[in-house]
C-alpha cells in the first residue's frame, strides 16, 4: 500500500489496521455430564462458555449428545465426566 501525499501517520495506521484480517477467535465451553449405559452422556449441563452470547455453549451441548466414553475413562468421577472443549470460531 502506497500512502497518498499529505496522509497523516494516524490515518495511515487506521488504514493498515482496517486492511489487516482479524485473528481467528477461539471459543471455549465446559460441560458436565452423567455417564450412562454404553458410555452415553446424559443430563449434560453447561458449566462455562467463552465468549458468552455467541452460541458456544449451545453448540457444545449439541455435540456431546453424540459422545460415547469408554467405561475406564480416567475422567469419570462418581459416574460423571467434565469435558472442556475449544472451538475455532469464524473471525
Which residues constitute the domain of residue 37?
Answer: 25-89
Count: domains in the chain: 1
In SS3 terms, 25-76 reads as EEEEEEEEEEECHHHEEEEEEEEEEECCCCCHHHHHHHHHCCCECCCCCCCC
Given this model, what pLDDT does residue 91 score?
Answer: 61
Instruction: Note whether residue 7 is domain-resident.
Output: no
Residue 79: inside a domain? yes
Whether 65 maps to a domain, the answer reads yes
With respect to residue 12, please indicate whether it lies within any of the assigned structural domains: no
Residue 68 covered by a domain: yes
- The pTM of this model reads 0.69
Select the more confidently predicted residue: 10 or 33.
33
Cell of 30: 465446559
Q: What is the pLDDT of residues 36-47, one digit of tens each?
A: 999 999 999 999
Residue 17 within a domain: no
Q: Would you say residue 33 lies in a domain?
A: yes
Amino acid at each position: 500500500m502506497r500512502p497518498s501525499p499529505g496522509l497523516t501517520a494516524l490515518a495511515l495506521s487506521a488504514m493498515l489496521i482496517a486492511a489487516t484480517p482479524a485473528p481467528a477467535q477461539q471459543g471455549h465451553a465446559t460441560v458436565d455430564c452423567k455417564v450412562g449405559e454404553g458410555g452415553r452422556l446424559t443430563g449434560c449441563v453447561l458449566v462455562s462458555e467463552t465468549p458468552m452470547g455467541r452460541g458456544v455453549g449451545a453448540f457444545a451441548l449439541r455435540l456431546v449428545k453424540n459422545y460415547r466414553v469408554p467405561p475406564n475413562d480416567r475422567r469419570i468421577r462418581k459416574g460423571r465426566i467434565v469435558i472442556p472443549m475449544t472451538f475455532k470460531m469464524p473471525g
